[in-house]
Structure 1
Amino acid sequence: MNHLQHFTDENALWTAIREGQTGAFKVLYEAYADVLYRYGLRYFREEETVKDCMHDLFVDLHRYHRNLSPSVNIRFYLLGAFRRKLHEVRKKSMSLHLGAYADPAFMIEYDTEHHIMAGEQQKETLRRLSAALQLLPARQKEVLYLRYNTELSYEEVAEIMKISIATCRTLAYRAFQQLREQLKSVPVYYLVICLFNCLF
């Protein structure tokens, strides 16, 4: 469903957001809630925590709408702002329970229900890929997720994660090489297709 149909394009929607139009915030939420929710679940298993972070993000957007940049890639902006919210909550949680703050884990799990229509061979490849993904460092998993699932450019992924573009590309390259090593029998083109499916 195209939630942006009431606006000519994303620029028109963002202009309405900056003007504080209530209807625009509803459209923005409906268009990007699923993307943000799935991303949040990579940081927290508790659905309520993810929903609370989403709520806080949209409250801040409304509260500070006059200060927003006039032109942005909305998906990129929301994912970056949401990631900061997730890190703030994780940092508070870690300091309360464990003391020192460490980089949060980034969870990727194979969803059998989502792939129920896949053939047995594809399911087996996806299961093997999911297992291989679990062995990757958190930052490599997050780069792959943002690159393949949210379709951001390397430049955008790097900015969201606060790393250089070169580091971002290196993390993606090393992750892909490790996955290829774990799944030697899977053709590269098919591995890429499965990667898109597994990171849904």
Structure 2
Amino acid sequence: MSDISSLKKFIDGTDPDSGLLYQSYVNSLYRYGISLGFAEDICMDAIHDVFCKLYNLSKENIIKIENVKYYLFKSLKHRLFDIYKKNKFIENVSITSIPFDIEVSVVDPIIDEEDKKIITEKVESLMSCLTDRQKEGIYLRYIQEMNYDEIALLLNMTPKSARMLVFRAMERLRNLNGDEKKIFFILLSASFLKSL
């Protein structure tokens, strides 16, 4: 079943599983929210807010949604940004100023406990050479498999800028020493295998 038909069934209440759309995206949305630096409970509340808002959309607005995954990620980011502004009592702050940190949970299924801490520290060290925007660009492109147009819209930039952002991040990672580079690309590959 396509995401669009799942969305329509979710809104109409005709989804026999009644939570298929939610179940399909909750984990990815949660990891994205955590990567933006928000607490677990705030992420889950924001995800629930997004789905409640989605449920209450008018049919005219539902028809405008072309890509459900992009819509959900964008909605979550905006909802978390609203929470961020409210909690920080900041009015003049840009959505692009929210820090981004990739959670290294993708290593969990491929290593044992004693090595997890060492590898996690190495990956975090690798990622520290990137800007928050570069981390988010890599996450959206390679972990969430979004295209450059979707990344551009989500990060408020042009598709060309999104391509350059990801390219420069990957270039920076390619210039690391051999062992660190191998670890990063193995983990990146593992995230692809995990999503299959």
TM-score, normalised to structure 2, is: 0.79
Give the Cα–Cα distance (whole angstroms) in 1 for the partners of residues 39 and 178 of structure 2.
36
* 1:64 partnered with 2:57: yes
Give the percent of matched residue pairs that are identical in Structure 1 and Structure 2.
26
**Equivalent runs, 1:20-169 vs 2, <5 Å:** 20-21=13-14, 23=16, 26-66=19-59, 67-69=61-63, 72-95=66-89, 101=93, 103-111=97-105, 114-115=108-109, 117=111, 127-169=121-163
Give the Cα–Cα distance (whole angstroms) in 2 for the partners of residues 94 and 38 of structure 1.
22
Give the Cα–Cα distance (whole angstroms) in 2 for the partners of residues 104 and 92 of structure 1.
13
Provide, for residues 101-153 of structure 1, a one-character-per-residue CA deviation record: whole Å limited to 9, x for no partner.
361110124348715526x9998666433312123111111000001111111
* 1:11 partnered with 2:4: yes
Counterparts in 2 of 1:23 and 1:134: CA distance versus 1, 3 Å: farther
Give the Cα–Cα distance (whole angstroms) in 1 for the partners of residues 63 and 178 of structure 2.
48
Taking only aligned residues, the RMSD between alpha carbons, in angstroms, comes to 3.3
Counterparts in 2 of 1:195 and 1:167: CA distance versus 1, 3 Å: same
Structure with greater proportional helix content: 2
**Equivalent runs, 1:158-197 vs 2, <5 Å:** 158-182=152-176, 184-186=177-179, 191-197=184-190
The answer on whether the counterparts of 2:173 and 2:181 sit within 8 Å (CA) in structure 1 is: no
1:155 is displaced (CA, Å) by 1.5
Q: Per the alignment, in what secondary structure is the counterpart of residue 64 of structure 1?
A: coil
Q: Which runs of 5+ in 2 are unaligned?
A: none
Q: Which runs of 5+ in 1 are unaligned?
A: 1-7
Aligned-partner residue type, residue 50 of structure 2: L
The answer on whether the counterparts of 1:149 and 1:196 sit within 8 Å (CA) in structure 2 is: no
